[in-house]
Each structure stands twice: as structure tokens, then as C-alpha cells.
Amino acid sequence: MLLFETPAGYALFKVLDENRIQKVSDIVEGFADEEEASSIVKLEAFRKFKDTKEALLATDKLVNGMIPKSLEKFLKKNIISEEVQDKLITADKKLGSLIQTNLDIECVHSKKMDELFRGIRSQLNHLVTGLSETEMKSMTLGLAHGLSRYKLKFSTEKVDTMIIQAVSLLEDLDKEINNYMMRLREWYGWHFPELGKIVTDNLLYARTVKAIQNRDTVGENTVTLLSEFLTEEIAADVKQAAEISMGSEITETDQKFIINLADQVAELAEYRESLSEYLKTRMNAVAPNLTTMVGELVGAKLISHAGSLINLAKYPASTIQILGAEKALFRAMRTKHNTPKYGLIYQATIVGQAHAKVKGKISRTLAAKCSVCIRVDALAESENTEVGQQCRDYIENRLKFLEANVNQQEGGNFRRPVAAATHKAKGASYNAESDFALGGALPKLSSTFVSSKRAAKAEDDVEEAEQTATLKKKKKKQVDSDDE
């Protein structure tokens, strides 16, 4: 028996002459003609799919190495219930082993059977009655399109476009809030200038302006309102400052527009907080390991700069390190100066808290580990943060090691390298310059040696100056003689 899966349904063929399928050449010759093909195999049963959806689900299970329920029922009905003792030939070895394990039907598969399946596929329209070539082509095309769309497995939780839009809007909101806040402080400062030094937070300042409105009306009720979002000490200071304020008076129209501006600032600030929470949730769903490494804001900026998470995963670690510093990079290449050591990755917390001398090294290491985390987020199916946490621990240990070395060097405690210590132990001649190249320190030279070297250098400079003056005199004499 032979199991053949088609876009239209399952077909079960009976091999009539086993001797003609022993050699590949015989199979090729046998399926070259319709009559010859009918003498080798014969259709025993055919189970047609009801619609494209059933065909799609069955094909997806077959592709993923599972037995569809429709195929299981088909085999039970035509083989197990009929008590057929023949072996079953399958095109897929894994499918054959599953059928043999679950249904206890002996299955066989060999490479030469691939030619047998190829021959049946070429003569399928003649072997299966009632199935035209046009119908088979349309079913094949529809199943191929449906399977391609199904394989994409579109998930709303994995859309990095939302992250790109959210982080871009977040940056725009920061600029707008700063502009509005600067205008509000300057505008209301003419009426109540002392408030800017008492309340420094922008959101709290806007809410305070909305609660006070006119400083002349500040009383116990106003202090009660301010106590809802300010401490009692600050609220008391605001009341005391309003009583002795040196600001100018404002009209009701001025006050109306100032309060409207304060409302706008407060609404924008609250919306920014909700947008930040939304971005954090999205980043934890799309790129959890990258978020663990550099935080949701820096990670979102990297994705936005690259265009998508897949594009970012294609970048090497060196590109991720300087992503966002393209102008400085090309300027350095054009002027032949040192290239930048970091771009957007500089905003990561671990780079910001690093010592100034090790920022370049730690940013290079961070970029390498971020590259690993990005590829795990983009290509792996799991959504845990184990890789990101391991890379984070490694970066923190690396930072401690580098800062310990910097502190040791600044303190003058230079550790002799292992190679130099080995030479000293063996009694070999010690080369200070090679030790310095390995990270050690040059030994201090004696003052006599230094002074003698300086004196010799001074004598060489004097001789070089005398030789240069003599050459100039000779050239001048030669020019004068040529003129005469």
C-alpha cells in the first residue's frame, strides 16, 4: 500500500507488481505511459478535503510532523478496519514512524521510493478518477497561498512598527513639553517669579499654577489643594512667597490663557507617562532580552534607527555600537580623526555609570552582547529573558573588572605581568620595554643617567645646527657666484 497526499485529499494506492518497483530505471519507464502506470499501482481509496481550510490545517500538521485527525480516520477506515496486512509506503520517514507508533501500521521508506512518488505525481490525474487537471492546479495554488500566509503567523504582539511610532512620538512630546514649559514659566513668572525656585518639577509646576491661578487669592483652601500633590512644607512656602511676591499684576484675560497653557502642559505630561508605559509593555513583548540589556527607551531608539527589529538583527556589533553617530563617523573619516566610540548606546545606564576611561571598552562589549540579544529576540521562538540576564551579568562583571584596573593604575599599584615574572624567575634578562607593552610599568631611571642623556642630546642638537648653518653659507656663496 502507498499513501499519497495531494492538495485535494489523501489517496491510498495498491502496488500491483512489486517486482517493477525494485529498480529506479524500471519505475521511470513504467510511469512514462498512462496504461503502464495503471498496471503498477491502483487507487484503493481517496478522501477529498471539504474546503481549503481543512486542507490548510491538515498540511500544517503534516509539515510540523504531526498526524491530522482526517488522515488518522482515513487510515483506520481503509487499513485497520479492513485488516490489511500489507506494508504502508510513506513519502516522509517521520510521518511513517508516527503512523507506526500511533496506529500500529508497519511503514517503510527508502530513497528509491521517491521516484515512485514522482511517477504517481506525474500521472495523478489519470490514476485518480474525477479529478481534472484544472481543478488540481487551482487547489494547489490556493493551498500554497494559504499555507504561505499561515506560516507568517502574524501576531499583534510582535509588531515593531508600533514601537517605532511610539518612541518617535515620545521624542516629539519631550520637545513640545519643554517648549511649553519654558513658555509657561516665563509667562507666569511675570506674575509670581518666586514660584519657579520653589517648585522645580515641570508637571508639579503646571499643576501648581492651575491651583493658584492668581497669587492674590492664595489662602488656606489653596494650600489644601496644593497639599494633594505637594508636601506640606512646599505648600507653606508657596503661600508665604505669594504674600510677599514682587511680581506684577495680571488681568483676568491673561490669567485665562496662562491657565489654559498649564492645562495643556499637564495633559501632555500625563499622556507622555501613559505612552512610556505602553512603550515598556511593547518592548517587553517584542524584544525582552534587548530591554533587559539597555532598557526600553534605548532599545526602542535602536529599533527605530534601524527601521525594524529584523534589520537591527542583521547589523554586526560594530555597527550597533556607533548607531546614531553616523555624522560624527563620516566627519572623522573625512578629516582623518579618531572615529566615535558610541552612538545611541551611550544613553544606556551601564555606559553612563562607567568610568570615563573605560566607556569605550564597555560600550564595545555592550554592543557585542546586545547583538546576541537582538538576534535571539528577532529569530528565536521563546520569549524568556535568560539570555539578556546572562549578558547583563557579564557586562556588570566586566565593568567592575575594568574599573578596578583603572583605580589600580591611578593609585600607582601596577601589577607585574605574568610573562615578566616568569623571565625573572628563570634568571633570564628582563626587558623593561617588553614588560611595558604587556601592561607593566617602566622602571625609574636614575638622575645621572637622565642628565647624561639630556647632555648628549643637547650636543647633537648643537652639531646639527652648525651643519645646517654651514650648508646655508655654501648655498649663498654659490648663488652669489652664479649671479656674477
Cβ burial, residue 249 (10 Å; 0-12/13-18/19+)? exposed
Q: Are residues 129 and 6 in the same domain?
A: yes
Number of domains in the chain: 3
Q: What is the pLDDT of residue 457?
A: 54
**Angle between the 359-379 and 386-410 helix axes, to the nearest 10 degrees?**
170
Q: Is the pLDDT of residue 444 over 70?
A: no
- In this structure, are residues 407 and 327 in contact, taking their beta carbons and an 8 Å threshold? no
Q: Does residue 178 sit in the same domain as residue 231?
A: yes
User: Are 51 and 114 in the same domain?
Assistant: yes
Higher pLDDT, 442 or 297: 297
CA distance 67 to 10: 12
Statement: residue 79 has pLDDT above 60: yes
Place of cell 583603572: 406
**Domain final residue pick, 234, 259, 280:** 280
User: Burial level of 410, CB count in 10 A (0-12/13-18/19+)?
Assistant: exposed
- Both 183 and 96 in one domain: the answer is no
- What DSSP designation does 345 have? G
Q: Which range marks the domain in which residue 375 is found?
A: 290-410
Mean pLDDT value across the chain: 81
In a domain, 424, yes or no: no
Residue 443 covered by a domain = no
Using only C-alpha atoms, the chain has a radius of gyration, in whole angstroms, of 41
pLDDT at 66: 85
Q: Which amino acid is at 11?
A: A
Place of cell 656674477: 484
Give the separation between CA 399 and CA 238, rounded to whole angstroms: 45
Instruction: State the residue for C-alpha cell 511610532.
Output: 165
Q: What is the mean pLDDT of residues 255-262?
A: 91
Q: What is the pLDDT of residues 165-186, one digit of tens each?
A: 999 999 999 999 999 999 999 9
For position 370, what pLDDT does the model report? 93
Model confidence over 350-388: pLDDT tens digits?
898 888 889 989 999 999 999 999 999 988 877 788 899
Q: What percent of the chain has pLDDT over 70?
A: 84
| Residue 296 and residue 276 in one domain | no
Residue found by looking up cell 495503471 in the block: 38
Residue 405 covered by a domain: yes
pLDDT exceeds 90 at position 123: no
Cα–Cα distance for residue pair 226/240, rounded to 1 Å = 13
Tell me what the mean pLDDT of segment 333-338 comes to: 90
pLDDT of residue 450: 39
- H or E element at residue 172: helix 160-189
* Mean pLDDT, range 410-436, rounded to an integer: 42
Greater confidence, 150 or 205?
A: 205
Q: Is 293 helix (H, G, I), strand (E, B) or coil?
A: helix
Kindly report the length of the chain. Answer: 484
Q: Is the pTM of this model over 0.85?
A: no
Assess whether 318 and 271 both reside in one domain.
no
pLDDT at 427: 40
Please give the Cα distance from 454 to 170 (Å, whole number). 63
